[in-house]
Amino acid sequence: MNLASLFSSINSKEVLQNLPDAVFVMEPDGRILWVNEKAAAIFETGRSTLKGSYFDEIVPDGRELAAQAAAQKKSVVTGAFRYDGREIYIEISARQYIEQYFITLRDVTPLTGMLAQVEHTEKMNKEKNTMLVKLSNELKSPLQSITGFSQVLLEGTGGALTEKQEKYLRIINKNSSELLYFMEKLLAFSEAESSLLEPEYGSFDIAKTIQQVMKDNDSMMFAKKLLFDFDSEGLKNKTVCSDESLIKIIVQNILETSIKATDTGVITVKLANPDSQVIERSGIYMPPSFDSSKYVLISINDTGVGYAEHELEGLFEPYVQLEKSNKKGLLRSIKLGTVYTLVRKLHGTVWVESGIMKGATFNVLLLIEGNSPLPNVGAEVNPAGRGEGAQ
């Protein structure tokens, strides 16, 4: 094929006419010299109506935006108006040839609308969470009263109880206690997602902090006859810079989840600087300059039944669990959703490795020096035994 004769036979106007994008040819003063059919279709008018009019009439400050796009060789997204007054959103690209501007447009109204809706939803969600946090005392106080007074009555402060009265009071006390616990976890999740909570950095001994959280759970461990094992490797007496209160919440929520899932055996808490194998297993990309001494890996392993692959989906996402009508799974995901959100606020990442009858290991990787976030921050799951990293 003779390419030279092929290109010499091409009609440039015919090519412009059949391009999938809208094409405008504009004079330096903004007057439109020529448009293709796609341009007329986007603005829902005829080509003859557009030709001879000024670009600024349909695109506010259009001439200036076209010159800017041509000078910077970058597209610009802006609003435009059809002739019936309806607003649309367009992406403008432009190049200057001699004195004229060749402009291509794309209608991005559907995409812009979706982005605006997402932004609005995120804003409303944060405002909702902020409202719940501010109303936390009003929400918890009645439940605390019911739980407290029912416990006092059970202890005989109000006098002797009949067998039936005691039975009903125990039901009231148990259910109000469970509801109060659920409410506290839900409010903690709302606070983590709200704009009210921001990390307050300070120096502290991370090994001592984690050991204190473990000690706070001794009664739950004793009730189930479980054992704790703590391994801090070379991080004993290690002072780190992070938010101690948030790390306590993260460890507490994971420990509660692990204790709940374990009937016999040991819960092991390990504190270490991450090695390359752990990083590879997590699915996180680390640049060659990555310094493991600036990060700490908290691994909490239990000897419970573990999680099937379908259970791992949405493990850190409470909203996904709402569709499954599983109260226990919802409470677990509220606690782990709080973990995920707080880990993100601390520039870290969290993932879980598990499989049926293989227990579960929750891994939290946190920055303890500096303030550069990890690449690909997020929550990952990795069913044990698949021989691959988190996806």
CATH assignment of the domain containing 350: 3.30.565.10
**How large is the average pLDDT for residues 261-273?**
93
The pLDDT confidence band at residue 384, using thresholds 50, 70 and 90, is very low
Mean of per-residue pLDDT scores for the chain: 83
In this predicted structure, the answer to whether residue 37 has a pLDDT above a threshold of 60 is: yes
Instruction: Tell whether 119 and 93 lie within a shared domain.
Output: no
pTM: 0.64
Percent of the chain past pLDDT 70, that is, above it, reads: 81
Strands (E), 17-66: 22-26, 32-35
The tens digit of pLDDT for each residue in 127-168 reads 776 777 777 778 788 889 999 999 999 998 888 888 999 999
Q: What does the DSSP assignment read for 56-109?
A: HHHSTTHHHHHHHHHHHT--EEEEEE-TTS-EEEEEEEEEEETTEEEEEEEE-H
**How large is the average pLDDT for residues 5-11?**
48
Residue 9 in tokens: 């036979």
Q: How many residues does the chain have?
A: 391
**How large is the average pLDDT for residues 66-74?**
91
The pLDDT confidence band at residue 236, using thresholds 50, 70 and 90, is confident
Q: What angle do CA 35, 39, 43 make, to 5 degrees?
A: 125
Does the residue 160 lie in any domain?
Answer: yes
Does the residue 52 lie in any domain?
Answer: yes
List beta partners, residue 361: 301, 353
Which of 193, 216, 237 delimits the end of a domain?
193
How far apart, in whole angstroms, are the C-alpha atoms of residue 365 and residue 348?
5
Instruction: Tell whether 235 and 339 lie within a shared domain.
Output: yes
Q: What is the rounded radius of gyration, in angstroms, for the C-alpha atoms of the chain?
A: 31
Instruction: Tell whether 93 and 181 lie within a shared domain.
Output: no
Instruction: Tell whether 343 and 217 lie within a shared domain.
Output: yes
**How large is the average pLDDT for residues 215-236?**
91
Rounded to 5, what percent of the chain is helix, strand, coil? 50, 20, 30
For the ranges 264-278, 314-328, 348-362, which has the lowest average pLDDT?
314-328
Q: What is the pLDDT of residue 391?
A: 32
Q: What is the pLDDT of residue 387?
A: 31
- Tell me the HSE value of 195 on the side-chain side, using a 13 A CA sphere: 8
The pLDDT confidence band at residue 94, using thresholds 50, 70 and 90, is very high
Domains held by the chain: number: 3
Pairing of strands 76-81, 227-231: unpaired
Torsion of CA 214, 219, 221, 224, to 10 degrees: -170
Q: What is the pLDDT of residue 324?
A: 63
The residue type found at 213 is V
Does the residue 34 lie in any domain?
Answer: yes
List beta partners, residue 295: 367
Does the residue 77 lie in any domain?
Answer: yes
**How large is the average pLDDT for residues 24-45?**
92
Q: What is the CATH number of the domain that holds 23?
A: 3.30.450.20
Does the residue 389 lie in any domain?
Answer: no
Does the residue 175 lie in any domain?
Answer: yes
Domain that holds residue 54: 3-107
Q: What does the DSSP assignment read for 145-166?
A: HHHHHHHHHHTTTT----HHHH
**How large is the average pLDDT for residues 248-267?**
95
In this predicted structure, the answer to whether residue 197 has a pLDDT above a threshold of 80 is: yes
> Do 304 and 261 touch, CB atoms closer than 8 A?
yes
Which of 163, 193, 223 delimits the end of a domain?
193
What lies within 8 Å, CB to CB, of 93 at 6+ separation is: 69, 75, 103, 104
Instruction: Tell whether 10 and 36 lie within a shared domain.
Output: yes
The pLDDT confidence band at residue 192, using thresholds 50, 70 and 90, is confident
Instruction: Tell whether 366 and 303 lie within a shared domain.
Output: yes
Q: What is the pLDDT of residue 377?
A: 45
Does the residue 391 lie in any domain?
Answer: no
Instruction: Tell whether 186 and 240 lie within a shared domain.
Output: no
Comparing 175 with 321, which gets the higher pLDDT? 175
Instruction: Tell whether 275 and 240 lie within a shared domain.
Output: yes
Instruction: Tell whether 370 and 254 lie within a shared domain.
Output: yes
The pLDDT confidence band at residue 7, using thresholds 50, 70 and 90, is very low
**How large is the average pLDDT for residues 222-235?**
90
Highest mean pLDDT among 93-102, 232-241, 322-331: 93-102
Instruction: Tell whether 212 and 302 lie within a shared domain.
Output: yes
Q: Angle between the 136-154 and 109-134 helix axes, to the nearest 10 degrees?
A: 40
**How large is the average pLDDT for residues 296-311?**
90
Which of 107, 123, 148 delimits the end of a domain?
107
Instruction: Tell whether 234 and 269 lie within a shared domain.
Output: yes
Pairing of strands 266-272, 227-231: parallel
Instruction: Tell whether 299 and 228 lie within a shared domain.
Output: yes
DSSP 195: S
**How large is the average pLDDT for residues 236-255?**
93
Does the residue 305 lie in any domain?
Answer: yes
